[in-house]
């Protein structure tokens, strides 16, 4: 997978995004010494957290002495830039974030929010995990997924295509199909 | 012949209500029959006025992915509708339209009408109580009716945000009263793998859409009159 984008040589960023909502249990699960240690062991150098409207504020680290550099922010208009610079993305289960990340060819862990009512979001994440396009976790299992994930086992994502819909619509109206 | 006497007023009243009932029934059967039936080879016709319903984040991204492959000379003028509380979606649609306009000028092709952008009240915000949502649903329905009768679209394209059901229902009603024949296309969101969304289920069960698309084979198995089109994303 083309997951090794990064501006500086040797800089490997993990980007966490919760979208427009809040997802404190994800941020809490990320904000632990064990998780930071495991990310470091896997060769990541930076952890950037987009925490949205969440109330839980994670700890910051400057990343000196070979530790993980951790930073956070609430919202940004340039999520795409963060995604592009990341070597690993950990995202909430919104379809917008999921497909934006997959289309960039970045390794992705989707964390399903168990607190949401009528949780249809897990359907998509689980289906795509079955097809090996991403890893699916829940806040309590996130650490385990990070520790045991093999990025090599992921398959490259083939972006979908809306032309079948367009053609059926043309056929319906009797438009010529080019 | 006295036994045969019926008060003419009584008779007329019943005849009147009966004929209205029969008319509504016939009209409904006619609409039901023709919904979903293709137009045939007749149309190299000009452009179709199209209402595009946008939802939040994921929904809008999917919709724009469909719009980039659709021939926009055939579907125009275009009117975009998004929820009152959603600022991002109309902005994204605006970016898409501007790009389209720029390409058009480059190709010196005919300039079509400018797109319009509208907002609609949502029937229920996330987390709103069910009691207060009865009132807001009524307001949202009235708003949807007003938008549909103002726009009178020939095509409605939607992909499952909550705002699309009242709009589909009103577009069907527009057809029913004979103001405009309106074809409804519903694409169920890619986020729905095994179960339809509430909007999707209502549109499917009430036979509102002319074509109902699903993106996963699991859904197609469950809802066989849908059309399976694979992933849009």
Which sequence spans correspond to the domains of chain B? 7-35, 46-228
Contact between A129 and A123 (Cβ < 8 Å): no
Select, from the ranges A69-78, A127-136, B83-92, B105-114, the one with the highest average predicted confidence (pLDDT): A127-136
Cβ atoms within 10 Å, residue A75: 11
Reported ipTM: 0.89
DSSP assignments along A3-56, one per residue: ----SSTT--EEEEE-TTS--HHHHHHHSSHHHHHHHHHTT--EEEEE-TT-SP
Q: Is the pLDDT of residue B148 over 50?
A: yes
According to the model, what pLDDT value does residue B112 have?
A: 65
Q: What angle do CA A93, B192, B92 make, to 5 degrees?
A: 65
Rounded distance between C-alpha atoms, residue B108 and residue B116, angstroms: 22
CATH number of the domain within which A27 lies:
3.40.50.2000
Interchain pair B44, A176: CB under 8 A: yes
**Mutation for testing the B interface, residue in A93, A94, A172 having most B CBs under 10 Å:** A172
Q: Select the more confidently predicted residue: B110 or A46.
A: A46
The two structure tokens encoding residue A50:
């987009």
Model confidence over B151-187: pLDDT tens digits? Answer: 999 999 999 888 899 999 999 999 999 999 999 999 9
According to the model, what pLDDT value does residue B75 have?
A: 93
The residue in chain B having the minimum alpha-carbon distance to the alpha carbon of residue A121 is B191
Interchain pair A124, B69: CB under 8 A: no
Which residues in B lie closer than 8 A to residue A165 (C-beta atoms)? 66, 69, 185, 187, 213, 229, 232
Of the listed ranges B46-50, B56-60, B206-210, the least confidently predicted one is B56-60
As a residue count, chain A comes to 178
- Average pLDDT value for residue range B77-97: 92
Model confidence over A149-169: pLDDT tens digits? Answer: 999 999 999 999 999 999 999
According to the model, what pLDDT value does residue B122 have?
A: 83
Residue ranges of chain B whose CB lies within 8 Å of a chain A CB? 38-45, 48, 56-58, 61-62, 65-66, 68-71, 74, 183, 185, 187, 189-195, 197, 210-211, 213, 215-216, 227, 229-233
- A69 within domain boundaries: yes
- A1 within domain boundaries: no
Closest CA to A108 of A81, A76, A142: A142
According to the model, what pLDDT value does residue A3 have?
A: 44
Rounded distance between C-alpha atoms, residue A107 and residue A154, angstroms: 8
* Structural element, H or E, at residue A135: strand A135-137
- Minimum-distance CB partner of A19 among B38, B57, B193: B57
According to the model, what pLDDT value does residue B76 have?
A: 85
**Would the CA dihedral through A160, A162, A165, A168 be positive or negative?**
negative
Read off φ and ψ for residue B75, nearest 5 degrees: -115, 85
According to the model, what pLDDT value does residue B41 have?
A: 60
Q: Measure in Å the smallest separation between the Cα of A163 and chain B Cα atoms.
A: 6
Helices (H), B73-223: 88-107, 130-151, 164-176, 198-205, 217-222
Rounded distance between C-alpha atoms, residue B229 and residue A172, angstroms: 15
In total, the C-beta contacts within 8 angstroms joining chain A to chain B are: 108
- A115 within domain boundaries: yes
According to the model, what pLDDT value does residue B26 have?
A: 95
Number of domains in chain A: 1
According to the model, what pLDDT value does residue A178 have?
A: 67
CA dist A71 → A21, A31, A39, A68, B219 (Å)? 19, 11, 14, 10, 41
Interchain pair B66, A162: CB under 8 A: yes
Which residues in A lie closer than 8 A to residue B57 (C-beta atoms)? 19-20, 94-97
- A154 within domain boundaries: yes
Q: Measure in Å the smallest separation between the Cα of B23 and chain A Cα atoms.
A: 28
- Assign domain B46-228 to a CATH class: alpha beta
- A148 within domain boundaries: yes
Model confidence over A85-143: pLDDT tens digits? Answer: 999 999 999 999 999 999 999 999 999 998 876 667 899 999 999 999 999 999 999 99
Closest CA to A142 of A96, A106, A95, A108: A108
Report the mean per-residue pLDDT for chain A: 91
Interchain pair B70, A124: CB under 8 A: no
Q: Could you tell me the pLDDT band of residue B14, with boundaries at 50, 70 and 90?
A: confident
According to the model, what pLDDT value does residue B104 have?
A: 80
- Average pLDDT value for residue range A30-51: 95
């Amino acid at each position: 997978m083309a997951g090794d984008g990064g501006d500086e040589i040797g800089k490997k960023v993990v980007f966490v995004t919760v979208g427009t909502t809040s997802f404190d249990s994800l941020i809490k699960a990320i904000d632990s010494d064990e998780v930071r240690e495991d990310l470091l062991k896997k060769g990541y150098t930076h952890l950037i957290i987009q925490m949205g409207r969440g109330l839980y504020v994670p700890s910051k680290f400057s990343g000196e002495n070979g530790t993980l550099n951790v930073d956070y922010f609430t919202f940004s208009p340039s999520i795409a830039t963060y995604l592009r610079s990341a070597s690993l993305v950990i995202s909430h289960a919104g379809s917008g974030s999921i497909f934006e990340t997959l289309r960039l060819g970045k390794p992705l862990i989707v964390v399903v929010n168990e607190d949401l009512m009528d949780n249809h979001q897990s359907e998509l994440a689980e289906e795509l995990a079955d097809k090996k396009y991403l890893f699916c976790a829940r806040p309590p299992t996130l650490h385990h997924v990070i520790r045991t994930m093999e990025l090599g086992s992921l398959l490259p994502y083939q972006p979908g295509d809306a032309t079948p819909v367009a053609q059926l619509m043309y056929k319906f109206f009797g438009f010529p199909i080019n | 012949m006295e036994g045969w006497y019926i008060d003419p007023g009584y008779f007329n009243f019943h005849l009147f209500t009966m004929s209205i009932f029969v008319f509504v029934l016939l009209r409904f059967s006619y609409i039901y029959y023709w919904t979903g039936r293709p137009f045939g080879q007749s149309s190299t016709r000009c452009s179709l006025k199209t209402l595009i319903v946008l939802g939040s984040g994921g929904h809008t991204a999917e919709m724009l992915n469909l719009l980039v492959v659709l021939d926009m000379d055939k579907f125009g003028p275009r009117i975009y509708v998004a929820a009152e509380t959603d600022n991002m979606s109309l902005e994204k649609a605006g970016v898409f339209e501007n790009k389209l306009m720029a390409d058009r000028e480059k190709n010196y092709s005919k300039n079509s009408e400018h797109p319009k952008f509208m907002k609609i009240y949502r029937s229920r915000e996330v987390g709103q109580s069910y009691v207060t949502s009865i009132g807001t649903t009524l307001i949202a329905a009235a708003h949807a009716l007003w938008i549909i009768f103002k726009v009178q679209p020939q095509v409605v394209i939607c992909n499952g945000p909550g705002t699309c059901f009242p709009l589909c229902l009103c577009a069907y009603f527009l057809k029913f009263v004979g103001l405009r024949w309106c074809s409804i296309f519903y694409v169920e969101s890619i986020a729905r793998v095994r179960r339809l969304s509430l909007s999707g289920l209502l549109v499917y069960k009430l036979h509102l859409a002319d074509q109902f698309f699903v993106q996963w084979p699991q859904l197609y198995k469950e809802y066989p009159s849908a059309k399976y089109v694979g992933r849009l994303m």
